[in-house]
Amino acid sequence: MSKPPEAVIEVISLRDGKASIEHQIDIHVLDLVDVANNTDISLREVLEGLRYVMDFRLKGSRQPNLEPELMRRLCEGLMLNMGHTEGVLLRKRTTEEADMAFSLFGEFLEEVEEFRTIVSTKQISDLRHSLKIHYRCQPSSTLSQKQSAVSIIHLLTTSFAHLADWRDLVKESEQDDMERLLASPIAKEVISAEKSGRVMQPSAPLLPPPALYFDRSVPKLMKMFPSSDPERGLPSEAVPALLERYGLNKLPDPPKPSVWRMLWTQLTDFMVLILLAASIVTGAEQDFKGMAVLLVVIVLNTAIGFTQEWKASRALDALMRLGVPQAQVIRDGKAQHIDSSLLVPGDIVILDEGESVPADLRLIEVAQLEAVEAVLTGESLPVLKSIEAIKVRSRKLPLGDCRGNAFMTTVIARGRAKGLVVRTGADTEIGRISTAISAGANSKMRTPIQRKLSRLGKYLVLLAIVLCVLVVVIGIAWKNPIREMVNVGLTLAVSVIPEGLVAVVTVTMALGVRRMAAR
């Protein structure tokens, strides 16, 4: 007997939904395990992605069972990250990201049968070490931490016979705190809610995390932004809450260059310090001409280095102030121009030929659209865009392959399009570059040539000291006057220092930068 068409469609829909959920979880799990070695994404972003999958796709759904191997990897990833702590001694507590992972562990335990099966195979000692319940049941713990601790303890003790005694899951010295918590009204409310099947609603509206969503089809993408419509856009009343959640669509402010700091950096360079020491020694020997030459070299090097660093800071400032002042959006069913800083994820942006893209977009309609992405990729040729989803087992798709996205500050070379805003401000690709540049400008990281020059300077100092001592010792052994031999040794040591090296390197780098800028 054949199934009615409605039943066949429902089965196919469930299978597609299962594959889609597993694909999304798989991407997040890969990032969850690799987040410590991946600077492109933070642990919070990965957990927010998993949170969205749980709340939007899994919780209360009728999806088929999920792949056991995927659930095993997810369980290990969450256990790896939900015990992270910060602070010391009495101020030691779990991090916000650890609490997010802890909460997700409990919800997957409740919602997914395969996840429960994997947890049942874990050693009690491993669970106790990863859960760190004792940090979440103390009087100083937050209400959310206490509720999550009670919920997970209740789930574990009622789901698995070998975990029936909650004391096995809590550090022995902290069991009194847990016992008091389990007897409190907080625990009674949580357990009562679980027994009655009530789902505790999130305090804030469910909003998708910033991402490119190149792997989502347009219909699925629009379902993630229920307030938005391809034809009517966002309603004005939805914008304030979205602005509060995602922030303004502005790039981070560039670091303010300090003149004195730039001068200090130039003067405290290791090779410059060597030249200063050499000039002092030369002056002590009353060789004032040599001392003057060294000081002139130091002043010239400092002036050239300061000038180049100042120009670089101005260029950095210009780069980090890249932005698009106006954007054409659809709101309340009408096309209108607004300040691009007021764009939020969910806005529908209209792109025309010659315009700059005001935020990171997932394209939903295109007409022969080509974009120049040289500012991000260095590729001067326009890239042809489409709305097709790209199914890959990673979120690390090269920018040039993101055919379904348009990126902030890139330019439309041809065609028209509509795009859904998916990332704004510091979350955009250019925003991440700006943030990285800011971090680099504020850090003490040095270029490879600076590190090599510093190493060369140390070798030269060591060589000068060895030669000076050797010459003085040999001279004294040959019955020469001590004062005369010390002067000879110091002179030889100073002669080892290449006075012109610093100036030559600085000038060469300055000329190289100028040629690169000209090209």
Q: Are residues 486 and 380 in the same domain?
A: no
SS3 content of the chain, % helix, strand, coil (to 5): 60, 10, 30
Answer yes or no: is 218 within a domain: no
| Residue 446's pLDDT band (cuts 50, 70, 90) | low
Helix axis angle, 270-284 to 482-496, nearest 10°: 150
Report the pLDDT value the prediction gives residue 336, as an integer from 0 to 100: 92
Contact residues for 250 (Cβ-Cβ < 8 A; gap 6+): 323, 341, 425
Could you tell me the CATH number of the domain that includes residue 98?
Answer: 1.25.10
**Residue 59 counted as domain residue:** yes
Q: Report the SS3 class of residue 331.
A: strand
pLDDT category, 10, cuts 50, 70, 90?
very low
Give CA separation, 253 vs 1, 246, 256, 432, in Å: 67, 17, 9, 12
Q: pLDDT higher for 221 or 3? A: 221
Clarify whether residues 131 and 12 are in a common domain.
yes
Same domain membership, residue 138 and residue 73: yes
Higher pLDDT, 254 or 226: 226
Does residue 211 form part of some domain? no
Q: Of 163, 195, 227, which residue is a domain's last?
A: 195
DSSP structural state of residue 381: S
What's the pLDDT at 443? 54
- Residue 225 inside a domain? The answer is no
Same domain, 462 and 405: no
Total structural domains within the chain: 3
End position of a domain, from candidates 381, 410, 433: 433
Residue pair 208/382 in contact by the 8 Å Cβ criterion: no
Backbone phi, psi, residue 453, to 5°: -65, -40
3-state secondary structure 130-164: HHCHHHCCCCCCCHHHHHHHHHHHHHHHHHCHHHC
Please check whether residue 355 lies inside any domain of the structure: yes
Specify the residue for token string 């070798």.
Answer: 459
> What's the confidence (pLDDT) of residue 442?
56
Same domain, residue pair 360 and 492: no
pTM across the whole model: 0.59
Question: Residue 222 falls within a domain, yes or no?
Answer: no
425 and 465 assigned to the same domain? no
Of 451 and 156, the one with more pLDDT = 156
Answer yes or no: do 334 and 292 share one domain. Answer: no
pLDDT at position 352: 92
User: Residue range 475-492: average pLDDT?
Assistant: 79
Q: Is there a single domain that holds both residue 39 and residue 184?
A: yes
The whole-angstrom separation of Cα 360 and Cα 410 is 10
Tokens linked to 267: 């003067």
Alpha helices in 353-428 (DSSP H): 374-377
Domain boundary among 172, 195, 218: 195
* Neighbouring residues of 157: CB distance < 8 A, sequence distance ≥ 6: 163, 164, 165, 166, 169
One domain for residues 170 and 57: yes
Domain that holds residue 398: 326-433
Indicate whether 87 pLDDT > 60. Answer: yes
332 and 477 together in one domain: no
Instruction: Report the CATH number that the domain containing residue 352 is assigned in CATH.
Output: 2.70.150.10
Residue 159's pLDDT is 81
Are 507 and 415 in a shared domain?
no
Report, as an integer, the average pLDDT of 40-60. Answer: 81
Task: Please check whether residue 112 lies inside any domain of the structure.
Answer: yes
Question: Same structural domain for residues 89 and 131?
Answer: yes
